[in-house]
Amino acid sequence: MYVPAPHRAQGDPCGAGDCFAATAAGALADGALPEEAVQLAVAEAAGFVTAGGAGNPALWELPGGPGPHPTEPRRPADAHALAEAVRARGGTVVATGGCFDLLHAGHVGLLQNARRIGDCLIVCVNSDASVGRLKGPGRPINPVADRIRVLSGLGCVDAVAVFDEDTPEPLLRQLRPDVWVKGGDYSADALPETAVLRDWGGRALVLPYLDGRSTTELARRAALGPHTSPLHPHR
Ligand SMILES: Nc1ncnc2c1ncn2[C@@H]1O[C@H](COP(=O)(O)OP(=O)(O)OP(=O)(O)O)[C@@H](O)[C@H]1O
Ligand SMILES: O=P(O)(O)O[C@@H]1O[C@H]([C@H](O)CO)[C@@H](O)[C@H](O)[C@@H]1O
């Protein structure tokens, strides 16, 4: 399988192989297909070389300098700073958006697949007021602080940003992601975000939809309590 580098990387190639190997191994460990892992590793190594390779300590030095570091919990990055940093090293910024009220297997599959597309995944989450206007009375079930915490706990999510408007366009104009992702319950051509991304050459994608999973359905089943029928997990 031949995977061309996304761009001709000018810089110190020292460390590019290690960057490739580490990225590919991590992607495979996250469940990526071999071809996905190789594509991701090629893009990451090209970005590493462009950003100065092993000669640029900022790419490999731990915050606070060399030496043993406590395994402190990963703090969610600031979405705007993350997008800037990834773009500066030639990486691909992927973003998605939604309410993510009661997180379910469909959400997690979408987020994991979205992360594999680029070099970071930023989740744009509707504020509580925005969810209430969109989803109706009694929503959100989970306040935004909890929705942020749950999303930030997923290894595939690098940062979360909240927006209060009815649609994420103003936030997208600030983040300028290369790729905008939604689930298969949407059509990319019909998304209002598609036109916004086109302003800077970005593109919108829809990814596979896991049938039978939705927050609404989860809430309905939870309300039925023990009388609810079992979900058919194979679907
Ligand atoms: N079953 C699913 N499989 C894949 N993606 C999904 C699934 N359900 C929702 N998504 C995607 O997750 C994102 C957040 O959607 P949302 O929070 O509205 O989920 P939902 O479960 O449909 O919620 P609700 O039932 O409240 O409408 C959207 O991009 C949506 O396309
Ligand atoms: O969780 P949902 O219902 O997928 O989130 C909504 O998605 C809309 C979509 O991106 C089309 O614009 C968005 O406009 C809305 O603000 C919610 O995020």
- The complex's ipTM works out to 0.98
* CA atoms of 176 and 83, how far apart (whole Å): 8
pLDDT in tens, 96-115: 999 999 999 999 999 999 99
Model confidence at 2: pLDDT above 70? yes
Q: What's residue 233's pLDDT? A: 55
pLDDT at 74: 53
Quick one: pLDDT at residue 165? Answer: 98
Q: Where are the domains of the chain?
A: 16-60, 79-219
> What is the number of the ligand 2 atom nearest to the C-alpha of 101?
1
Q: What's the CA gap between 51 and 45, in Å, rounded?
A: 10
Q: What is the pLDDT of residues 169-185, one digit of tens each?
A: 999 999 999 999 999 99
Category of 65 on φ-ψ map: left (φ > 0), alpha (ψ -120 to 50) or beta? left
Q: Considering only residues 137 and 37, tell me which one the structure prediction assigns the higher pLDDT.
A: 137
Give the separation between CA 5 and CA 234, rounded to whole angstroms. Answer: 38
**pLDDT tens track for 35-73:** 778 877 887 888 788 777 788 777 766 656 555 554 544
Our answer on whether the CB atom of 187 is closer than 6 Å to any ligand 1 atom is: no
- Closest Cα partner for 159 from 169, 170, 171? 171
Residue with tokens 């790729």: 179
Cβ within 8 Å of residue 227, ≥6 positions away:
none
Non-local (6+) Cβ contacts of 158 within 8 A are 76, 77, 82, 115, 120, 121, 122
Q: What is the three-class DSSP state of 126?
A: strand
Mutate to test the pocket of ligand 2, among 134, 162, 164 (most ligand atoms within 8 A of CB): 134
Give the rounded percent of residues in the chain with a pLDDT score beyond 90.
63
- Return the CATH number of the domain spanning residue range 79-219: 3.40.50.620
141 C-beta closer than 6 A to ligand 1: no
